[in-house]
């Protein structure tokens, strides 16, 4: 597996697990924070900018669609982060609040908390269960021991 897939898998996996544990640890705080996002546009814009930067970074360096399920999950996660960031930047706050209400975040809270938990668990498990291949050019090339050189014989002269 390419080193980039492994590193991104570890990064996304660990961050998703931390987010999931925070969501499970303090439901009231997360629900209150989500409620504030619809009221105040400033944190929403900041969240959108951060998501666009990280989503675009993942998409630009890892847009892999054909090497199996694991790299596909990393690619789709990058695209999802990017699309959600763009939505946060361009969708009006009242529409975002309506979308949050339609998603029944409070009623289905633990389902929404399970998404980063499962995603993070899968990516972290895959990422940390393999050895990272060396990055090309990171170490000096292996040199072969020089064979004892013997003086070259001159080719016989023709008369």
Residue 94: HSE in the Cβ half-sphere, 13 Å Cα cutoff: 0
Domain of 103 in residue numbering reads as 3-128
156 token code pair: 């016989």
The whole-angstrom separation of Cα 57 and Cα 53 is 6
Q: What is the pLDDT of residue 91?
A: 85
Q: What is the pLDDT of residue 143?
A: 60
Residue 68: DSSP 8-state: -
Does any domain span residue 105?
A: yes
Does any domain span residue 11?
A: yes
Instruction: Report long-range pairs for 58-62 (Cβ below 8 Å, ≥24 apart).
Output: 58/8, 58/12, 58/82, 61/4, 61/8, 62/4, 62/5, 62/8
12 token code pair: 């996304």
Write out the chain's pLDDT in tens, 159 residues: 788 899 999 999 999 999 999 999 999 998 888 777 667 778 888 989 999 999 999 999 999 898 889 999 999 999 999 999 999 898 887 787 788 788 888 889 999 999 999 999 999 999 999 887 776 655 555 566 555 656 667 666 766
Q: What is the pLDDT of residue 100?
A: 78
Does any domain span residue 134?
A: no
Residues 116 and 20: beta-carbon distance below 8 Å: yes
Cα→Cα distances 53→11, 71, 88, 125, 146, Å: 15, 20, 13, 25, 50
Count of the separate structural domains present in the chain: 1
Q: What is the pLDDT of residue 154?
A: 65
Does any domain span residue 81?
A: yes
Does any domain span residue 51?
A: yes
Does any domain span residue 62?
A: yes
Does any domain span residue 54?
A: yes
Q: Compute the Cα dihedral for 67, 73, 77, 83 and give only its sign.
A: positive
Q: What is the pLDDT of residue 152?
A: 63
Size (the chain), residues = 159
pTM: 0.75
Q: Compute the Cα dihedral for 85, 91, 92, 97 and give only its sign.
A: negative
Does any domain span residue 158?
A: no
104 token code pair: 């029944």
């Amino acid at each position: 597996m390419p080193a980039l897939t492994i590193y991104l898998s570890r990064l996304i996996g660990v961050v998703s697990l931390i987010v999931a544990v925070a969501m499970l640890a303090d439901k009231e705080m997360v629900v209150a924070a989500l409620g504030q996002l619809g009221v105040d546009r400033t944190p929403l814009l900041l969240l959108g900018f951060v998501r666009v930067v990280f989503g675009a970074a993942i998409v630009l360096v890892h847009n892999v669609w054909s090497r199996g399920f694991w790299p596909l999950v990393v690619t789709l996660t990058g695209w999802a982060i990017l699309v959600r960031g763009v939505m946060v930047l361009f969708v009006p706050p009242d529409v975002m609040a309506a979308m949050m209400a339609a998603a029944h975040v409070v009623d289905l809270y633990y389902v929404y908390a399970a998404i980063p938990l499962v995603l993070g668990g899968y990516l972290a498990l895959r990422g940390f269960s393999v050895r990272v291949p060396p990055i090309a050019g990171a170490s000096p090339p292996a040199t072969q021991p020089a064979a004892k050189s013997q003086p070259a014989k001159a080719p016989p002269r023709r008369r």
